[in-house]
Amino acid sequence: MHVHLPKPLHGWRAFVGEVGIIVVGVLIALGAEQMVEALHWRSEVAGFRSAVRQEVALDLGTYRFRMNENGCVKARLDQLDQWLDSWRAGRPMQLTGPISAPASLSLQTSVWGGRDANVMAHVPDDERLELGKLYDRFANNEVHRLDERETWLRLGEFDGATALDQHDLMRLRGLITRARYRDSHMTDNAVRYFHIAKEMGIVPHVQDDPPTVDPAFCRSVLPIANRSR
């Protein structure tokens, strides 16, 4: 028994040509769809990259803002050391003003925290890893910042003190040491972050309306005769 295939109305050559046109059309449509999708994700990644880099720049700016107070921090801790020594020597001085505290700015993490998994999948692996590490470092440094604030608040409890016992002196010594420790680590960390960000092409940017630093913090609280020259 012989099976006879139906013949195309216009012949096999014309049929093959028509099928070829259909296939090419489908391929073109698929290619166009992929191109549109690629352009879409390129736009999404570009938008995320711009936003996250601005956020990182502002976060780095918080460290720059705090580091601008380093001189006043060191001076105030040196003054507190002199004050502590005067009590231990039996010739206690009285502070002439409030101990006050350095100002600091909180980090912004909304862009990174709200990142979309699909967008991140289209960010180059090395850039994604570097950003992740940088934000991990920010989180670590936030521990130092918050503890520094707590330490200075506790130092402020000595404002107006007229009598210090041995327990007070030991507590004061511990707080001064703790404040120096936090200041040193925050500064060292910030310098490393600046270097990492520079390699990524990101420059620290202090927000346009930073809070005013308390001018009293940069004035000596020691009696004039006891101030370092």
* 1 domain residue, yes or no: no
* 59 domain residue, yes or no: yes
Matching residue, tokens 């096999």: 12
Mean pLDDT of the chain: 87
* 81 domain residue, yes or no: yes
Type of residue at 14: A
Which of 97, 99, 87, 93 is CA-nearest to residue 226?
93
Q: At what angle do helices 125-155 and 12-67 cross, to 10 degrees?
A: 20
Binning pLDDT at 50, 70 and 90, where does residue 131 land?
very high
* 97 domain residue, yes or no: yes
* 204 domain residue, yes or no: yes
* 138 domain residue, yes or no: yes
Binning pLDDT at 50, 70 and 90, where does residue 43 land?
confident
At residue 23, the pLDDT reads 66
On the question of pLDDT at 29 being above 70, the answer is no
For the stretch 186-195, pLDDT in tens is 999 999 999 9
At residue 134, the pLDDT reads 94
The secondary structure of 176-188 as a DSSP string is HHHHHHHHHHHHH
- For residues 191 and 213, the model is more confident at 191
For the stretch 14-28, pLDDT in tens is 655 666 677 666 667
- Mean pLDDT on 124-145: 93
- Mean pLDDT on 139-158: 96
For the stretch 48-60, pLDDT in tens is 999 999 999 999 9
Task: Write out the residue range of the structural domain in which residue 202 sits.
Answer: 12-226
Count up the domains in the chain and report the number: 1
For the stretch 63-83, pLDDT in tens is 999 999 999 999 999 999 999
At residue 215, the pLDDT reads 86
* 86 domain residue, yes or no: yes
At residue 229, the pLDDT reads 44
CB neighbour list of residue 164: distance below 8 Å, 6 or more residues apart: 87, 92, 158, 172
State both tokens at 189: 């960390």
At residue 175, the pLDDT reads 98
* 6 domain residue, yes or no: no
Which string of b and e fits 6-24 if b means at least 16 CB within 10 Å? eeeeeeeeeeeeeeeeeee
